[in-house]
Amino acid sequence: MRKPLGIAALVAAAIAVAFVLMPNSVYYRNGRPTRVGRAVSRAQAIWSGLGLPPRFQVALEVPRRSGAGLQSVPVVIAEVEGERYLVSMLGERSDWVKNVRAAGGEATIRSGSREPVLLEEVPVEERAPVLKAYVKRAFGARPHFDPGPDSPLEEFEAVAANYPVFRIRPR
């Protein structure tokens, strides 16, 4: 029984490495996900929702604006001074951001269990430290940010208006 589990883990790791090595244009074009990007996002949301590693990646569930069920997307939680935050790597155009705003911030985080949360939008002038912490943690988001993980805080202040940030509060 142990051998098939080890083989499955190796196959999963090989697939993960293949996805990481693919160029970003396979997943996103013009700031929007491609078909491949949407499929990978769905798979990551399922994986994260089960509570599988990495633990800082979770599934965010938010009611759709259209009223047609829930949107489930993988997101990375950034932590700054004991507070948890979500960042939209695609900026204002991200559907989950529009859905969170339409839902008045009510959402659910899944990572093995369900956590009802209230997402409060962070003012632009307070976003830079969160964006820096996010870019350090979220490897997949780095192609969408001009400042890199080791850039000074001033560079994040310059782009803060482009990336919505939400503080996670219990509901």
Give the residue with greater pLDDT, 94 vs 18. 94
Does position 159 have pLDDT exceeding 70, yes or no?
Answer: yes
Distance CA 58, CA 18 (A): 21
pLDDT value of position 143: 81
Pairing of strands 165-170, 114-121: antiparallel
Does position 68 have pLDDT exceeding 60, yes or no?
Answer: yes
- Range with the lowest mean pLDDT among 11-15, 79-83, 90-94, 161-165? 11-15
Does position 19 have pLDDT exceeding 60, yes or no?
Answer: no
pLDDT value of position 18: 58
Distance CA 110, CA 134 (A): 19
Give the residue with greater pLDDT, 95 vs 145. 95
Cα Rg of the chain (Å, integer): 16
11 CB contacts (<8 Å, ≥6 apart)?
none
pLDDT value of position 9: 64
Structural domains of the chain, ranges and CATH numbers in brackets: 2-170 (2.30.110.10)
Task: Give the chain's mean pLDDT.
Answer: 86
Does position 1 have pLDDT exceeding 60, yes or no?
Answer: no
pTM for the model: 0.81
Give the residue with greater pLDDT, 8 vs 121. 121
User: In the structure, how many helices (H) and strands (E) does the chain have?
Assistant: 5, 8
Q: Which DSSP letter does residue 97 get?
A: H
- Range with the lowest mean pLDDT among 63-72, 123-132, 151-160? 63-72
Distance CA 126, CA 153 (A): 11
pLDDT value of position 29: 72
As a whole number, mean pLDDT of residues 105-112 equals: 96
Furthest CA-CA distance within the chain: 54
